Structure 1
Amino acid sequence: MKEQIDYGYFEDNYPDDLTGINVLIDCMTNMLQSPTTRIGGFIQDRAALRPYIENVDTEKIQGFLDHMKGKSMRNVRNVNAYWQSALIDFLRGQELTLLTV
């Protein structure tokens, strides 16, 4: 996963974001290992999530981190579940935007 997103680039250029990037790596790894994952309250099969995760790259990680900046996490009870849902929702939104252009 680190090679896929060019982790070294983030180490060199965005060291303050490494905690968030590590959480994302854990979330993506968990989604690929688990047969199902709850996304936005709905159970999703690994096969449905795999294409989104396999297409994550440096640019998408940067976009997601920018998207998440300023979002309050005060009432979030399960940070991993929240980030998993937020990431997949973001990636689906990006894909939809590309399809409509």
Structure 2
Amino acid sequence: MSEDAKILLTKIGEDTSLRYAINLITSAALACQKRKGKVVEMEDISRVYELFYDVKRSTQYLMEYQSQYMFSEVAGEEGDEDEANAMVS
């Protein structure tokens, strides 16, 4: 792994979690193999970071686009609340 890739991975690990950073190492190694590289570079880390969201970015994405998901309007309507609860059960 190149020094630049290690620095980027360290920064990502500090901002997210150690578990997420470790999973990125494995994914970045696979991305490196796919491009037929010998050393994991920053571009590999960046690519897998864009593909796999951490909990914080995933939550932010879901909050931002929640109105586009099925049943998003059901929770907001009082009359359909019992029906929505029945669907979940």
What's the TM-score once normalised by structure 2's chain length? 0.35
Q: Which one has more relative contact order, counting CA pairs under 8 Å at least 6 apart? A: 1
Structure label with greater radius of gyration: 2
TM-score (structure 1 length as normaliser)? 0.33
